[in-house]
Every structure is written in C-alpha cells, then in structure tokens.
Chain A
Amino acid sequence: MTSPASKTEDSPSAPGSAATKRRESLPVFARVRDARHLGLLLALALLVLIGLVTKPENFATSSNLVGILALAATIGVITVGMTFVITGGGIDLSVGASMALASVWATTLDTQALGPVAMVACAILVGAGVGFVNGALISYGRIVPFIATLAMLVAARGLAQRMSDRKTQLIRPENNEIEALSTTRVLGLPLVVFIFAAVAVVGWLLLNRTTFGRRTFAVGGNPEAARLAGIDVRRHTLLLYTLSGVCCGIAAIIIMARTTTGSSTHGDLYELDAIAAVIIGGTLLTGGRGTLFGSILGVLIFTVITNLFILNGLETSDQLIAKGVIIVIAVLLQRRNLESST
C-alpha cells in the first residue's frame, strides 16, 4: 500500500524549524499566556503607579478603588458581549442605545408596578430582543453589521425617548431592591461588581471552554470554512448578537442600580468605549481572534484613566485625547505582535 516515496521528507516544514517555532503562541490552548496581556497588565500597573504618585491620599482609598470597579461594571458587561460579536466577525454599534431602551422600558410605571424581579427580567428581555433583531437583520436579512446596528442605534434611542417622553424615570421607593444592588456590599464590594465579575467569568468560560466559543472563533476567522465544516453560520451569528443584547440588558440593570433612574440618555457613546476596550485588549477587529481577559483589562485601563483625570482635576477633553492616543498605540503594538507571530 505505502509506496517507497512516502518516506521522502515533506520539505517546507522540515524538523529544523520546529525548535524555533515552538515558542510561538498556540491560539486555542494558551490564549491567556499571550504576551500582549503582559503589556496590558504593565500599562494598568503604570496607571495605578501614576495614581499613587500624583494623588497618594485619594487614589489608594478603598472608596476610590470600589468606585472605579463600580464605574467599570456597566461598560464592562457591555464589553463582554462586544468581544463575542467582534470575535465572530461582526460589530455592534447599538449597545449604548439598547441599554438606554432597556433601562427606560424597565422603569416605566407599568413595569415598576410589577416589582423589581419583573424590572430585571424586562431589562434583560428588551436587551435580548434588540440583539435578536440585530442578529436576524444581519444573518438572514444579509445587511452588513455596521449598517444594521447603526440603524438600531438610532431607532432604539428614538424609541427610548418616545417611551420616556424624554424624561428621566425615577425608580420608586417600593422597588429599592434595584438600588440595593449598588448599595449592598459583600466583602466590601457592591453587588454590581459581583455581577460584572460573574458575567466576565461566564463569558470567559463560554468563549474558551465550549463549542459555542470555538464556533465563534471559526465563524469570525473563516466563515466559509465554518460553513463548509457544517456549522450553521447564520444561526450562530444570530446567537452572538442576541448574547450582546442580553449583556446590554444586564448593563441596564447596573446603571439603574447606580443612578436609580431609567433614561433615554443612558449609555451615550458607550458603543465607542466598548469597541475601544475590545480593540486595545487584543481582539482582532476582523474577527477570528479574541480575548475576553484582554477586553476586561481594556475596560479597567480606560476607567482608571477617567478616574485619574477626575482626581487630578484635569479637563475631560484632555482625557478624550489620552484615550485616543492609547487606542492608536495599542493597535500599533498589536500589529507588531501579529506580524512577529506569522
């Protein structure tokens, strides 16, 4: 059966190169050990150091650190969903608007009359619904993700304004369990921080340990190969956007807890912060390569920067400039990383 020629060496990947290549990152099995996370951790450490040096009396206080985490929770949960969508080769511009819509819908008088559990369920369902519509338009309606979610951004924000009559809706005292999510502390941390942590951990497991996550990488990395391997790419895309919507619903609960309001102005421009955090975290905007750990670090870096600027009484405009510079630097570094690994 086997011919003599089968013993010939298959030249291009001769064993000589094996030793040198062994150090390379192994995408599926060792994502966390990736060097770029080290860079992000260093950046975060540097920012903390700056905080300690410039405002030693304010930065390291427990109230400030808890504040940073609570602030990071809202955008962080959204970023988890965004990481899935971008890894799967898409983009979701509607996250801020769907969070606003979920917060408004969950705080209408009718919903509030049903109690806090119904409000939580309402926020999540509204988020999921918005995500489902996005996903259906993109996968079955074949509209490019940028356009479909841009349309949703505008429409969801408009619907939120119409429902709330552009008024900020206060959560009534009998539903103060919602606010308790932000005021109740366990181990010194408010519950919303635990919600964020839970979403991040579940997200990480989903992305890295399940068939759903593996399919997300496949669909984002090479949709044609995924389709020809028998994966239902359209169904998976639908699920990815729905997942992002659910994250928006959870983020809406967190912002309701922190502000005790639902408002059509919540989450303005959050889509840009979330995308920026995902990108500096090391997820490829073209899909197929993503890291949830990196995204979380990206969120923390942005939140600490905001905090530093506030503590030092600097202009918010300078803060925006700093963020822009960081995004560019991160992407340039990543490209070097990518090129050296190919």
Chain B
Amino acid sequence: MNEDPLTGRPLLVMSGIVKAFPGVRALDGVDLEVTAGEVHCLLGQNGAGKSTLIKVLSGAHQPDDGEVRLDGETVRLANPTAAMRQGIATIYQELDLVDGLTVADNIFLGHEHATYGFSRRSEMNRAARELLGRLGHPEISPTVEVGRLPAARKQVVSMARALSHEARLIVMDEPSAALAHDEVDNLFRIIRELASAGVGVIYISHRLAEIREIGDRVTVLKDGRTVAVGLPAKDTPTAKIVSLMTGRTVEYVFPDRPEARADRPEVLRVEGLTLPGAFEDVSFSVRAGEIVGLAGLVGSGRSEILETIYGARKPSTGRVLLDGRPVRPGSTSAAVRRGMGLAPEERKSQALLLNDSVAGNISLAGMSRYASFGWMDRSRELAEAQEQVKALDIRPPDPRRPVKTLSGGNQQKAVLARWLVNGRKLLLLDEPTRGVDVGARVELYAVIRRLADEGIAVLLVSSEVPEVLGLADRVLVVREGHLIHEAPAPELDESDVLHMIMEGSPR
C-alpha cells in the first residue's frame, strides 16, 4: 500500500503453471505476479483453478509445468514445509488449528522454541503475545485453549502463526467467509498493516465489494487459465470482471427444455423454512417433471436448504410438504419412505460405500424391495442393478465391480441409480457434476432431463451458474440464506445471476 503496486518489485512471479488431474486440466498455463506490499486478489468461478493454484503455491501440489520465482529466484516447493521455509504462509478457509492446544502452542507448532526437547514456555508465550499485539489483538491470551476461541479469533491465531514464520507472502482463501461484519473490518485492518510492512498478500474472495475495498490488483482465472493480469481493483468496472469470469471457452451441451406446463401437479412445497444460521423463511415449490435450480455461492445456505428438505437437518420453523402432505422433519428415513432421494454434495464421504460393489451401492436405499422377511434375493438385486447400469450407461457395465474403481461421472450415475430403482417423486441433487469431466457431464445432464421428463420433480444445486441456467426450467437465487430472486431460466443470463449472487442485486 505504501508503494505503487504497479511499479513495485515483483515478489512472486508464477508463469505458465500447468497441473493436470486424471480427466481434467485444472491449471492450463496460469500466470500470476504479486509485488511486495500489495494485496492481490484472485477471482474466478468455481472450478476455475483458484484452489489448485494455491495448493501449488503452498507446496501441496507439484505443478506439471511452469516456473515459480520468489524475489527473482526460481524455487521448487516440494512440500508444505519447503513453502513455509521460503516464507509462503497459507491460511485456509477451514482453519488448520489444533483445538486442544493453547494459542501459543498453535502459533509455534512445528517450530517450537525448545531446549533439548523441553519447550521454553514463557518465551513462547511472550513471543505469541507480541505477535498478537502486532495484529491488534493483545486481549487474546497465549495460554488459552484454541478450541475455546470464536472463529474470528482463531483466524487471528492463524495469522499470528503465518507471521511467526516471517512470511513474505500470505495466501488467504476466503478469509471473510466465516466472519461477521465488524470482524471483517478488523481483518482488513490487519491485512493493510501486513501489506504496509512489505508482505505480499494474495486474497481470494467471491465478494466484489471486499475486493474493491481491500485489493490493489486483480487477476482473473477461468477454466485453468489467466484471462486478465493485474487489473486495478478499485476501478475496473464490475461488468468487465464478470464478463472475464464468464466468457467460457468450454461449451456445455444442455438437453432441450420441454414446454413449461402449469397443469403438472405440485410435488414439493416448502413453506417458511428456517434453519438458524443457515437460511431464513424459504418458500417455494417444484412441480412434477420440472427442474428447479438453486444458484448461490458456497455458504449461501443452498446445500442446507436441500438437506433440511431431506430431513438430514431439522428446521426451527416452517414445513415441507410432499404431494400436499407434510413430511416429518429431521428424519431421512421418513423422507425416503415418502419418495425423496438425495445425491449429496460430497460423493465419497456422503453417498458411496467405497468398500462395496456398484450393485451394493445401487441397492442401498431400496434393499427391502429385494427382501422377504429380511432375506435378500441377491439375483434380483443384481438383475435390477444391471438394468440401471444399462439404462444410465454406467461404464464399465458390470454391477459387481468395486465402486471405487469407477470414474467420478460413473460413480455419480451409480448414486442416481440408487434412487431410480425404487421410483422417486422428488430428486434433490447437490452439485451433481462436481469432479466430473466434460464428456460425462453432458451425459449426466441428459440423464437428469430424462428423469424429469418421466415425471420426477428435480431440485438442483450448483455453484456453476451456466449449469443451473442451462439445465433448470426455473431458477431461485440464494444469497446469505435468503431467496432473493426467482425466474424462468430462459429469462436470466449468466452475468445477471452472478451479479445477484455476489452483490445482491442485478446490474
């Protein structure tokens, strides 16, 4: 902040960074330049490659190609420790602190002040107090357990930890996501102080207002490439930023939409649903054969809405009606009995039995269909799984394969098949194409539309605005726990929706 960031000496130069994962090129030639004393903002839609880039910078991923230079020297960041030694500190969205240790222990974790293994506590406490003082939080005691601190203070501890490494470059991944308003002000004050002390800061956020307030320059990523380097953060028009973020090179092929039909019966009705801390007074409905999309940022409450409808969370007020009759709140078994199915956000941790076969995963929710007095008819189970494998074109087409050997797209099809074997009325899909490559996405879109055509009501959540707009019939925009807009998908365009979910209003 004290020197002109556009002419200051470059602290970090990343050029031509490439990182490929099976089936997807997460980074495809990214350039980034950060000067000392600058707050550099990184923008991009979900899947643009921001988190992969940070992981390369923090030593968690090794790039396949490209060069990283720090203060003019080429460096190899072989692991997180190497990155830390180079003075690069990363503060993740999910704080990596040990709750059971004290503040001072956390700050110096891994580089304790010690003599022959005995830690010099008073010295560490003094040093911690000094660091916390520098961050404007002398009231945090170095001897208190971190688990007892609220989120905002934990973040201060994380920052003190970064400072204790004498970081030259601090990377912050959505640091404001967990903070209340006045806490964000304090965060910004700290960031400004760090910058004026000559530290380079990489700041990632979806909130444009924050970027305008704290940022010096902006780099925009899209589909794993840098599309704009070093735009002035204060006065680049929002329209330009949004168009940089959206102008896709990868075009998805979405299935055709049938005519909207108002005479279809209403399947799901949500009335005044509230889950404190997540969303408030949410009401909408979904008709048979209709795909309704919920668009919103991570943390806007969209996944929680889905999980509450499904009974995985219990609302404080409001109700969920299926076919006009209320569903018992807070019980997934009741939801399944009434004809709902959920494909959750985290496929591996929330949906799949990774030790089991494709058939075992498909039959999980409808086992009693194959059972008489608890006894399983396994040949029928296998035959029906085989039918689904064929219908959804799951490859390889063998239901006895262990599910963990399938690709992400095929695993997701197996999760869908789980619900299709026992005739659902309502499917709730949370990020159905996450981690799925482009070809398989198109297939999934076709499958989802076909299900809707068969009369199933579909409620879809996706971070990717084009996906919601392309696949859904009707779109609900969620921001900070409120439904702020509702419109038929063809009447919306991507920039409008991005504007709404980031700034709260259309252009």
A interface residues (Cβ-Cβ under 8 A, vs B): 1-6, 8-13, 15, 17-18, 21, 24-29, 209-212, 214-215, 217-218, 221-222, 224-232, 288-289, 341-342
Interface centre among B396, B401, B450 (most CB of A within 10 A): B396
Partner of A289, one of B255, B355, B400, B408: B355
A28-B255 CB under 8 A given contacts A10-B409, A210-B371, A217-B353 = no
Beta-carbon contact of A13 and B374 below 8 Å: no
Partner of B395, one of A3, A13, A25: A13
Partner of B332, one of A1, A29, A222, A227: A227
Beta-carbon contact of A217 and B356 below 8 Å: yes
Partner of B357, one of A2, A13, A17, A26: A26
Chain A's closest residue to B252 (CB) is A5
**Smallest distance from the beta carbon of A303 to chain B beta carbons, Å?**
29
Beta-carbon contact of B395 and A224 below 8 Å: no
B327 is an interface residue with CB less than 8 A from chain A: no
**What residues on B are CB-neighbors of A1 within 8 Å?**
255-256, 446, 449-450, 453
Beta-carbon contact of A209 and B375 below 8 Å: yes
In Å, the complex CA distance between A62 and B333 comes to: 53
In Å, the complex CA distance between A119 and B210 comes to: 74
Q: List 21 A-B contacts (CB under 8 A).
A: A3-B253, A5-B442, A6-B393, A11-B23, A13-B405, A21-B405, A24-B405, A28-B360, A29-B359, A29-B400, A209-B378, A214-B367, A217-B360, A221-B354, A224-B349, A227-B332, A228-B350, A229-B364, A229-B365, A230-B332, A231-B333
Beta-carbon contact of A10 and B357 below 8 Å: no
Within 8 A of A (CB), among B4-44: 22-23
Partner of B376, one of A15, A17, A27, A214: A214
Beta-carbon contact of A209 and B376 below 8 Å: yes
In the A-B complex, the 5 residue pairs with the smallest Cβ-Cβ separation, listed nearest first, are: A230-B336, A8-B439, A12-B407, A229-B365, A5-B442
In Å, the complex CA distance between A25 and B360 comes to: 14
**What residues on A are CB-neighbors of B321 within 8 Å?**
none
Partner of A218, one of B357, B364, B382: B364
Within 8 A of A (CB), among B343-396: 344, 349-357, 359-360, 363-365, 367-368, 371, 374-376, 378, 382, 393, 395-396
**What residues on B are CB-neighbors of A4 within 8 Å?**
253
Indicate with 1 or 0, residue by residue over B160-179, a CB within 8 angstroms of chain A CB atoms.
Answer: 00000000000000000000
A342-B400 CB under 8 A given contacts A217-B353, A230-B335 = no
**What residues on B are CB-neighbors of A214 within 8 Å?**
360, 363-364, 367, 376
**Smallest distance from the beta carbon of A153 to chain B beta carbons, Å?**
27
A229-B418 CB under 8 A given contacts A9-B439, A209-B375, A288-B353 = yes
**Smallest distance from the beta carbon of B452 to chain A beta carbons, Å?**
11
**Smallest distance from the beta carbon of B495 to chain A beta carbons, Å?**
25
In Å, the complex CA distance between A221 and B357 comes to: 13
Beta-carbon contact of B410 and A13 below 8 Å: yes
Partner of A6, one of B256, B332, B437, B446: B446
**What residues on A are CB-neighbors of B445 within 8 Å?**
3
Beta-carbon contact of A27 and B332 below 8 Å: no
In Å, the complex CA distance between A230 and B255 comes to: 31
In Å, the complex CA distance between A213 and B65 comes to: 49
Beta-carbon contact of A218 and B336 below 8 Å: no
In Å, the complex CA distance between A9 and B442 comes to: 12
**Smallest distance from the beta carbon of B445 to chain A beta carbons, Å?**
8
Given contacts A217-B353, A221-B353, 5 further A-B contacts (CB under 8 A): A3-B445, A6-B443, A8-B442, A229-B351, A230-B335
- How many A-B pairs have beta carbons closer than 8 Å: the answer is 154
**What residues on A are CB-neighbors of B359 within 8 Å?**
28-29
Within 8 A of A (CB), among B253-305: 253, 255-256
B interface residues (Cβ-Cβ under 8 A, vs A): 22-23, 253, 255-256, 310, 312, 332-333, 335-337, 342, 344, 349-357, 359-360, 363-365, 367-368, 371, 374-376, 378, 382, 393, 395-396, 398, 400-402, 404-410, 418, 437-440, 442-443, 445-446, 449-450, 453
Beta-carbon contact of B355 and A225 below 8 Å: no
Partner of B400, one of A6, A26, A231: A26
**What residues on A are CB-neighbors of B382 within 8 Å?**
29
**What residues on A are CB-neighbors of B395 within 8 Å?**
10, 13, 15
**What residues on A are CB-neighbors of B357 within 8 Å?**
26-29
**Smallest distance from the beta carbon of A94 to chain B beta carbons, Å?**
27
**What residues on B are CB-neighbors of A15 within 8 Å?**
395-396
Chain B's closest residue to A229 (CB) is B365
In Å, the complex CA distance between A126 and B31 comes to: 70
Beta-carbon contact of B437 and A11 below 8 Å: yes
Beta-carbon contact of A24 and B402 below 8 Å: yes
Partner of A225, one of B352, B405, B438, B450: B352
**Smallest distance from the beta carbon of B333 to chain A beta carbons, Å?**
5
Beta-carbon contact of A227 and B312 below 8 Å: yes
In Å, the complex CA distance between A209 and B363 comes to: 14
Beta-carbon contact of B367 and A211 below 8 Å: yes
Interface centre among A9, A210, A230 (most CB of B within 10 A): A230
**What residues on B are CB-neighbors of A6 within 8 Å?**
393, 439, 442-443, 446
**What residues on B are CB-neighbors of A29 within 8 Å?**
357, 359, 378, 382, 400
Chain A's closest residue to B393 (CB) is A6
**What residues on B are CB-neighbors of A24 within 8 Å?**
402, 405
Beta-carbon contact of B351 and A228 below 8 Å: yes
In Å, the complex CA distance between A326 and B413 comes to: 43
Beta-carbon contact of B396 and A18 below 8 Å: yes
Chain A's closest residue to B344 (CB) is A228
